[in-house]
Amino acid sequence: MGTGSIDPRRIGRESNVANTPYEFRQHTIISGLAVENYARMNAVPDSVESAVQVRDFRYYLAFRFCLTLALQMQGVVVGWQVYEITKSPLSLGLVGLAEAVSYIGTSLFGGHVADIVVRRRILLVCAAIYTACSVSLLGVTLFVPVTWPHLVLVFYFVIFLTGIARGFIAPAIYGVFAQVVPRRLYLNAGAWSANFWYAAAVAGPAFGGLIYGYLGVVAAYVTLILCLFASIFSMWLLPSYPLEHKMQEENVFQSISKGIAFVFSNQIILGALSLDLVAVLFGGAVAMLPIFASDVLHTGPQGLGWLRAATFLGSISMGLYMARNGPMRHAGIALFVCVAGFGASMIVFALSKSFALSFAMLFLSGVFDSVSVIIRSTTLQLSMPDHMRGRVAAVNNIFIGTSNELGAFESGFAARFLGLIPSVVMGGCISILSVFVAAFAAPKLRALDLQALTKQDAPAK
Predicted confidence (pLDDT) per residue in 133-192, tens digit: 999 999 999 999 888 888 999 999 999 999 999 999 989 998 899 888 888 888 888 888
pLDDT at 420: 81
pLDDT above 90 covers a percentage of the chain that reads 27
Query: Stretch 192-200: mean pLDDT, rounded?
Result: 88
CATH 2.30.29.30 for the 44-243 domain, yes or no = no
The CA distance from 323 to 321, in Å, is: 5
pLDDT at 266: 86
pLDDT at 460: 55
SS3 at position 116: coil
The CA distance from 222 to 224, in Å, is: 6
**pTM value?**
0.77
pLDDT above 70 covers a percentage of the chain that reads 82
Q: Which residue has the higher pLDDT, 45 or 233?
A: 233
The CA distance from 257 to 265, in Å, is: 12
Q: pLDDT category, 279, cuts 50, 70, 90?
A: confident
Q: What is the pLDDT of residues 71-113, one digit of tens each?
A: 988 988 888 888 888 877 667 767 877 888 888 889 999 999 9
**Summary mean pLDDT of the chain:** 80
Determine the topology of domain 259-461 in CATH.
Answer: Growth Hormone; Chain: A; (1.20.1250)
Q: CA 457 → CA 23, 162, 381, 411, 460, distances in Å?
A: 8, 36, 12, 42, 8
Query: Stretch 195-203: mean pLDDT, rounded?
Result: 86
Q: Are 1 and 7 in contact (CB under 8 A)?
A: yes
Task: Calculate ∠ Cα 180-181-187, nearest 5°.
Answer: 145
pLDDT at 371: 87
The CATH 1.20.1250.20 portion of the chain extends over 44-243, 259-461
Break the chain down into helix, strand, coil percent, rounded to 5. Answer: 80, 0, 20
CA atoms within 13 A on the CB side of 394: 31
